Amino acid sequence: MKKTESQKILSVSALARVEGEGGLFIKMNNGKVTSCELKIFEAPRFFESLLIGRNFHEPPDITSRICGICPVAYLISSIAAIEDACQVQIPEYIWNLRRLLYCGEWIESHSLHVFFLHAPGFLGYPSLMEMAKDYPKEAAWALQMKKAGNTLIQKIGGREIHPVNVRIGGFYSSPKKLELRSLLDTLKRGLDHSLLALQWIGLKFNFPDFKRNYTYVGLKHPKQYPIERGIISCEDSQFDAKEFEKNFIEEQTTYSNALRWKATNSRSCLAGPLARYHLNYSLFPAFLKEKLKEIDLEYPCHNPFQSILVRLAEIAYAFYEAIRLIEDYEPFSPSFIPFDPNPQTGYGISEAPRGLLYHKYELDDKGSIKKAKIVPPTCFNLASAEDDLKKWIETHSEDSIERLTLDCEQIVRNYDPCISCATHFLKLHFR
């Protein structure tokens, strides 16, 4: 960061402890931010174009390769979109197994974010490995929880990363009852560890007094905290996935390969844990609400730094929900619902750990993909992250260069943008 009497320029060439490759450039004149650019320079990967001409059975396995941390999210949203196009009705027992699989991903992904990427910054450590020297017990909780999530994915999906047992219409095979019940002790231990971690972070960490007025976007569900399905909620509106592009607009900046999606009034939206918490707090079980009261986490919560607490609450909820689903589980046969392709457009949406994930596919009469669109949560959160950075810089302009740099990186980690997921290529502009 360079500084003159009236101007400051903060430049972070490569952000540390975020998923993917990105940088940050902020310019301020006379106490006002004149430029704030969260740059996503990771190369576009053309997944939407790769799908064109493919058979309708292929998108789930292809799109799950977009992310090695959240492949289940891509599987579920992609599958839901194709099933919607083909007008197939999926029974509740298949949806319940999908939800159980998704719980595993929430556990492992949130554990990675909370302990490996986010928590070290609050305590002044460069990594979990350094933090573990002083907090070995807490690091052990992190590793146990992440392993529990991975194991759950492996038992249902066939392997921990990029599961292979998931297909359109259901699963290739349903797991045996005893196989899943063998996980209960591990999951119960993980629930205990998540609650201990929630108390530790809630009482030990110092959270800046920094509140923002967000436009929250996420799923709502009448009966259960939304993970694998629901109705989209944004401001005072609720609508299903097919109305997604009527309610949000797509933008592109000159400095980033990641597209931006905003509400149609051009207002930035926030997706992810804080949004889900805001929209669905009432669906948390009573014991979890009580734990959140013990650490004085407000509802609603408008402090992005406290998103780490909401992520921990969601880890605890995912453990709780996984235990419930396993205790109620009965194997089923056949393991999938057969159906034929349909020349229609289908829409699928689910809650990836970092927020709303939207898929749209248009099929022809032979079941080939004609058009595809994928909108990951980072496409919502980048603009909100930039808004947070502007506000923070302007209210802390007298802080040291080193302090501002550390704080700005931590603000980005509040979101943990899935940079790799968000890199798209829209158009070439020559100037």
Q: What is the CATH number of the domain that holds 89?
A: 1.10.645.10
pLDDT in tens, 163-189: 999 999 999 999 999 999 999 999 999
Residue 41: per-residue pLDDT: 65
pLDDT of 406 reads: 87
- Residues 335 and 361: their CA atoms lie apart, in Å, by 24
The answer to whether 128 touches 141, Cβ cutoff 8 Å, is no
pLDDT of 426 reads 30
Q: What is the 3-state secondary structure (H, E, C) of 118-168?
A: HHHHHHCCCCHHHHHHHCHHHHHHHHHHHHHHHHHHHHHHCCCCCCCCEEC
Residue 1 lies in a domain: no
Quick check: 376 and 352 in contact, CB under 8 A? Answer: yes
Q: What are the tens digits of pLDDT across the range 106-125? A: 999 999 999 998 999 999 99
Give domain status of residue 423, yes or no.
no
* Entry field: residues in the chain: 431
Mean pLDDT, range 300-323, rounded to an integer? 97
323-343 per-position pLDDT tens digit = 999 999 999 999 999 999 999
Quote the pLDDT of residue 252. Answer: 87
Which pLDDT band, with edges at 50, 70 and 90, does 255 fall under?
confident
The torsion defined by the Cα of 265, 268, 271 and 275, in degrees rounded to 10, comes to -80
Gap between the Cα atoms of 55 and 133, Å rounded: 51
Q: pLDDT (tens digit, 9 = 90+) per residue, 31-54?
A: 788 888 887 766 667 889 899 999
DSSP helix/strand/coil, 217: strand
Does 412 score more than 90 pLDDT?
no
pLDDT reported for residue 398: 81
Give the pLDDT band (50/70/90) at residue 429: very low
- Give me the mean pLDDT over the 148-163 stretch: 96
Structural domain range at position 315: 47-388
- Are 350 and 357 in contact, with CB atoms under 8 Å apart? yes
The percentage of residues in the chain with a pLDDT greater than 70, rounded to a whole number, is 92
Six token digits for residue 193: 């560890």
Q: Which residue has the higher pLDDT, 15 or 314?
A: 314
pLDDT at 265: 87
Q: Check the CA dihedral 82-271-95-160 and report its sign.
A: positive
User: Half-sphere exposure of residue 95, counting CA atoms within 13 Å on the CB side?
Assistant: 14
Hey, which residues does 368 pair with through a beta bridge?
55
Q: Is residue 28 part of a domain?
A: no
From CA 187, how far away is CA 367, in angstroms rounded?
40
Closest CA to 45 of 419, 295, 327: 419
Instruction: Specify if 24 maps to a domain.
Output: no
Percentage of the chain surpassing pLDDT 90?
73
In a domain, 127, yes or no: yes
Q: Which two structure tokens, joined as six digits, stand for 383?
A: 């603009």
Domain presence at residue 8: no
Please work out, in degrees rounded to the nearest 5, the angle formed at the alpha carbon of residue 380 by the alpha carbons of 142 and 128.
20
Torsion of CA 94, 100, 105, 111, to 10 degrees: 170
- CB-count exposure of residue 263 (10 Å: 0-12, 13-18, 19+): middle
Round the CA-based radius of gyration of the chain to a whole number and report it. 21
pLDDT at 34: 87
Q: Using 50, 70 and 90 to split pLDDT, how confident is the model at 430?
A: very low
Strand partners, 55: 368
Residues 268-298 pLDDT 10s: 999 999 999 999 999 999 999 999 999 999 9
Compute, in degrees rounded to 10, the torsion defined by CA atoms 408, 411, 413, 415.
-140
Residue of 360, 352, 383 lying closest to 265 (CA atoms):
383
Site of tokens 């350094």? 130
pLDDT of 360 over the 50 cut: yes
Number of structural domains found in the chain: 1
- Residues 101 and 231: their CA atoms lie apart, in Å, by 20
First to last CA, the chain: 29
Q: Does 162 reside within a domain?
A: yes
Q: What is the mean pLDDT of residues 369-398?
A: 91
Residue 309 lies in a domain: yes
As a whole number, the mean pLDDT across the chain is 90
What secondary structure letter does DSSP report for 268?
A: -
Tell me phi and psi for residue 199, to 5 degrees. Answer: -70, -45
Distance CA 159, CA 356 (A): 24
Neighbouring C-alpha atoms within 13 Å toward the C-beta of 334: 8
DSSP 40-61: E-SPP--HHHHHTT-BTTSHHH
Q: What is the DSSP letter of 113?
A: I
pTM of the model: 0.92
